[in-house]
Structure 1
C-alpha cells in the first residue's frame, strides 16, 4: 500500500490525494480522495490465458478485493460464453475478440457502464464510465 505524501496532508493530519475528475470543468474544485479511509484499488494483469489461469483470478479477487481488475491477453474467442468466468461480488465486462482480448472485473458495489463510443475496432480495449456517486464514500 502506498503511504500518503506528507506534502499533501490535510490540516487534520489525515493524508489526502488530489484526484482529477474527467467530467469536471476548470471552475470545479478538484476532488480529494481521503487516503486514510480507503484506497481505490485497481489491479492489472497480463493473464496469458484466462481459461488456464482462472483459479488465480479468483484467488486475486478474493484476497486483494480490488475495485477493478483489468486482464489482458485472455486468449478467448469472441463467441466465448463469459458465464464460466463469473466471480461472486464482481461483474465481468469483456471484449473477447481476435484472441488478444481483454476484460475487466468490476466490484458489485461500484456502478459503471460501458462507453462503447470510445472503443476502437483496431485495438482490443474496454472503456468504462464509473458513476462518481458510487464512490461518494471516498470523495468529498
Structure 2
C-alpha cells in the first residue's frame, strides 16, 4: 500500500516515538501489524491487526494536503485515520469530509486534528472526556468505538 505524494511540508509526527526506528510486522512483539506506510517512509504509521486498520499521519497543513489525504482514504480501507494538522485559523471542518467516513475534528489557530472513522463502525464523540487543560496541539477529544 502506498500513500500518494504529500506536500513537502508534511512532517514526522511527534507522537510516534517508536517511528525513529521503523518497526515492521515481523518485529512487533505480537507478530502482528505495526508497519510504516510506505515501508521506507516513517511519516505515516499503519497498524493492522488482520481485522482493524489504523493510520496516523501528521500533516502540517491539511488545507494544502487534503487531496492526497482524500485519495488515500478513498483508495484504501482504514477503519481509523488520525491526523494531526495545522491550519492558520480555526475553521469549519466540512471541506475536509471524505465519503464513507465520519469526521471528528477540533481545529484551532495553528493546531488541530481530524479523526476519520469508517462509517461502517459505530462510534460517538465523548465530549465529557474532553479537557481544556491540554495544549492546542494535543488530542483533546475522545472518540469511542
TM-score range, shorter chain: 0.5 to 0.7
Q: How many residues were matched structurally?
A: 103
The C-alpha deviation readout for 1:87-130, integer Å capped at 9, x for no partner, is 11011100112321111011100111111222222233221111
Query: RMSD of the TM alignment (CA)?
Result: 2.7
List runs of 5+ in structure 2 lacking aligned partners. Answer: 1-23, 33-48
What is residue 83 of structure 1 aligned with on the other side?
94
Q: Does 1:62 align with 2:74?
A: yes
Question: Displaced runs of 4+ in structure 1, greater than 3 A?
Answer: none
Provide the TM-score with structure 1 as the length reference. Answer: 0.62
Q: Relative to total residues, which structure has the larger strand share, 1 or 2?
A: 2
| Larger Rg over CA atoms | 1
Cα distance in 1 for residues equivalent to 2:88 and 2:74: 23
Cα distance in 2 for residues equivalent to 1:97 and 1:58: 21
The C-alpha deviation readout for 1:35-86, integer Å capped at 9, x for no partner, is 6xx42101000011110000111121022210010000232533x1211111
What is residue 52 of structure 1 aligned with on the other side?
64
List runs of 5+ in structure 1 lacking aligned partners. Answer: 9-14, 17-34, 131-140
For residues 85 and 76 of structure 1, do their structure 2 counterparts lie closer, same or farther at Cα, with a shift above 3 Å needed? farther
What is residue 137 of structure 1 aligned with on the other side?
none
For residue 96 of structure 1, give the secondary structure of its aligned residue in structure 2: strand
